[in-house]
């Protein structure tokens, strides 16, 4: 793919709504990953179930989106 084509594609993609850009980004990143390991998927399913049970039981410590974003930005260097 030429640099010109890539630039045009990038420009068009950036015009998509946030949800569609996120879906595309996920698909692109996933395409770079190695084949899925069933054991890992099972482990994540169990972890997700455990965390949801904590939320349902009221034992999870929850933060709002802005606090999450602040912590994430601090962790990656304030970018």
Tokens of 77: 């260097």
Q: Domain-by-domain residue ranges, the chain?
A: 3-75
Those residues whose C-beta lies under 8 Å from the C-beta of residue 13, and which sit 6 or more positions away, are: 21, 24
pLDDT at res. 41: 86
CB 22 within 8 A of CB 28: no
Residue 60 has pLDDT above 90, yes or no: yes
pLDDT at res. 33: 79
Query: For the residues 25-39, what does the mean pLDDT come to?
Result: 86
Global pTM reads 0.45
């Amino acid at each position: 793919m030429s640099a010109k084509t890539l630039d045009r594609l990038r420009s068009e993609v950036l015009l998509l709504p946030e949800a569609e850009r996120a879906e595309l980004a996920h698909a692109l990143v996933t395409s770079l990953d190695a084949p899925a390991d069933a054991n890992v998927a099972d482990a994540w399913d169990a972890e997700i179930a455990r965390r949801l049970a904590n939320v349902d039981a009221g034992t999870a410590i929850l933060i709002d989106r802005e606090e999450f974003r602040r912590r994430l930005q601090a962790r990656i260097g304030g970018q």
